Chains A and B, each alone.
Chain A
């Protein structure tokens, strides 16, 4: 009896893991080998879904993969560089101003996804009521329909900026843990502020920094809800990365079999990229 008790405590957790991770993971593999559609019943088709991905049968897949690369690198650069800049700046500033900016930059994290998406849709709205067009009109320029002209750039901005608050929080904490003596010593040796940042601060926070890079790589690779809401992936796949393509194939075209195959490719891609990053960034298991 005594041996069983711990399992009662862990049972609800195991049940949810089983229902929402293990069964779906196995089912994804199963569904990817079928032609499952709207009826949620499928016939076994073997690797046909995968040959469809990797041959010319799907004409947009090349475009989608390229989009994935552009979107991922763009959003990652904004999140990491933006967060790093803000972290360095807010920790260097005197406390009151530092915390003022920290509060403002905490807003995006507390904003529900739909509202966040709406802020961006509205900022780039083609009518004169859009924020950017309003500013353009005020300074005597013609408004534009930004969302059709630069869909990818807008989607990258919206996702990249959303990552800044978390990056900033983690990196600020890491920066304020750097012993003051090291910074004092650098100052006595005559290192400029910029040099201190590049040669001392960044190497000392390398571990959290590489954690964030890997974390956000995964996050940007697999998240699609903001793109779905802001541009819907269009116009004509111009802002569709793999994750959104998977979702649209599955739930708009109701091609669940093909969607699952795409999801598996996405998982494989994530694993490869993470292993590459681990090697590249020299992440080792440290204390």
Chain B
């Protein structure tokens, strides 16, 4: 029995390794290049050093038509990510509550519509969205990206937060209502604190979505002064001038550190929330 289990482990382990090594090597390649002075052409970093990391935070490498400092770009990225997070939380916590707790006409219709929305990615409507944003005079603004991104994220967020509201016993609300609280104070003072783990998870996911967005910034924003990290990195990659691989690797690593950290954090919060959210 024990022997067969060991044998099985070896087979599955090597199958997994075979599939995983190529994936890992992509990331290792990126990491090693970012901490080497010259682009690698073997697997071992022969001239380790932080040249490109220092460049990233001082003066960006000279290239025609490229920004000279990373800080405005980071700021823009944070504005969009933060904007998506706040708007998404606002919309989803209100909508999740009303779907979970309130009665209103057209609720079933809304629910099935949300499902269709989830299935049909917004990108199919990108051309018309561009058209709408043009008429709203929102093209080339951060707001256009924030709104479009939030619209894409809100189905998931509403669904998760609705689930958290569902798990709260109704007695809690009832006692507050007897004390004479209005629906709005009830929502703000009693319900919101109870679904905090859900809000944190949804907020973090929305922040990551805004932080990593490429296609909306690329399509809706024209000014270089409004570039985010994604469009900056893409312009570096697709630029016709000779490529500084070490610097590209460094920008990539720097760009993905927050998403990695937040993702693992949200993952933990989400499981904890769904497991511990229901009060005994």
Contacts and interface: CB of A to CB of B under 8 A. Distances in A.
A25 B113 CA distance: 13
Nearest to A89: B12
Interface in A100-120: 101, 104-115, 117-120
B127 A256 contact: yes
Interface string A41-68: 0000000000000000000000000000
Contacts of A92: 8, 12
A21 B98 contact: no
Contacts of B41: 128-129, 134, 137
A114 B124 contact: no
B248 A118 contact: yes
B70 interface: no
Interface stretch (B23-31, B48-56, B173-181): B23-31
Contacts of B39: 129
A222 B124 contact: yes
A247 interface: yes
Contacts of B9: 93-94, 97
Interface string A71-83: 0000000000010
Contacts of B102: 5-6, 9
Contacts of A36: 131
B214 A225 contact: yes
B122 A9 contact: no
B110 interface: yes
Interface residues of B, number: 84
B154 interface: yes
A152 interface: no
A134 B42 contact: yes
Interface in A5-34: 5-14, 16-17, 19-21, 23-25, 27-28, 31
Contacts of A121: 237
Nearest to B25: A131
B245 A219 contact: no
A104 B20 contact: yes
A263 B264 CA distance: 36
Contacts of A222: 120-121, 123-124
A122 B29 contact: yes
Given A21-B151, A112-B214, A114-B255, A101 B121 contact: no
A270 interface: yes
Nearest to A228: B215
Contacts of B260: 107, 110-111
Contacts of A260: 127-128
Nearest to A93: B12
A263 B125 contact: yes
Does more than half of chain A's interface fall in helix, strand or loop, or is it mixed?
Answer: helix
A283 interface: no
A219 B243 CA distance: 32
B134 to A, nearest CB: 5
Q: How big is the A interface, by class? A: 35 or more
A85 interface: yes
Given A5-B102, A25-B125, A113-B214, A20 B29 contact: no
Nearest to A5: B183
Contacts of B252: 114-115, 118-119
Secondary structure of the B side of the interface? Answer: helix
Interface stretch (B61-69, B89-97, B193-201): B89-97
A200 interface: no
B94 A21 contact: no
A101 B255 CA distance: 23
A193 B128 CA distance: 52
Given A5-B102, A123-B29, A129-B39, A13 B256 contact: no
Interface string A233-260: 0000000000100110011000010011
Given A20-B151, A123-B29, A247-B126, A113 B230 contact: yes
A123 B28 CA distance: 11
Contacts of B238: 229
Contacts of B12: 89, 92-93
Contact of B151 (A7, A19, A114, A138): A19
Interface in B1-55: 5, 8-9, 12-13, 15-16, 19-20, 23-27, 29-30, 39-43
Contacts of A137: 41
Contacts of B94: 9-13
26 contacts: A12-B91, A16-B91, A16-B147, A20-B148, A27-B131, A28-B125, A31-B131, A40-B134, A93-B16, A97-B13, A106-B263, A110-B260, A112-B212, A114-B255, A118-B237, A120-B26, A129-B39, A129-B41, A129-B245, A215-B119, A218-B120, A218-B121, A219-B121, A246-B127, A250-B127, A251-B130
Closest 10 CB pairs of A and B: A112-B212, A20-B151, A24-B128, A9-B98, A6-B104, A24-B125, A27-B128, A13-B95, A110-B263, A6-B102
Given A129-B40, A250-B127, 5 more contacts: A82-B19, A121-B237, A225-B215, A266-B124, A267-B124
